[in-house]
Amino acid sequence: MGIIYHITSAEAWNLARQKGVYSAPSLETEGFIHCSNGGQVDGVLNRYYKGQNHLVKLTIDTNKLVAPLRYDLAPSINEEFPHIYGPINTEAVFDVQEIVQ
C-alpha cells in the first residue's frame, strides 16, 4: 500500500464524506489536488497553512484511488510531490487526524 497525505479543513472533509468524494479548489484551478509524502507534510503546513485552525490530515491509500496519481516537480523547492488528477474517493482515505498547530 502506498500512502500519501492531504491537508484540508475539517469542514471540507465533512462535506466530502457526505458526497463520497473530496475535491479541493486546486482541482479546478490547476487540474489536480496537492498531496504530500510523509516527510513533506510539515513543510507544507509551515509554507501554506501557518496559523490556520480546524485543519485535518487525510491519510490516503494510493492503491484505492480512482483518479490518476502522478508525481510532479515543484520547481520552487525542487521536490517532487504527489498530485491526484481528479477527486479523491472517500474510501481511499483510511485515517483522518486533527492538526494542532
Map out the domains of the chain with their CATH numbers: 3-99 (3.20.170.20)
pLDDT digits 0-9 by tens, 14-29: 999 999 999 999 999 9
Residue pair 72/16 in contact by the 8 Å Cβ criterion? no
Length of the chain: 101
**Which residue's C-alpha cell is 510523509?**
38
**Which residue's C-alpha cell is 484551478?**
29
Q: Closest Cα partner for 30 from 68, 80, 78, 86? A: 86
- The model's pTM: 0.94
Residue pair 1/61 in contact by the 8 Å Cβ criterion? yes
Residue 33 has pLDDT above 80, yes or no: yes
- pLDDT band at 1, cuts 50/70/90? confident
In angstroms, the CA 53 to CA 34 distance is 19
| Cβ contacts of 44 within 8 Å, gap of 6 or more | 7, 34, 36
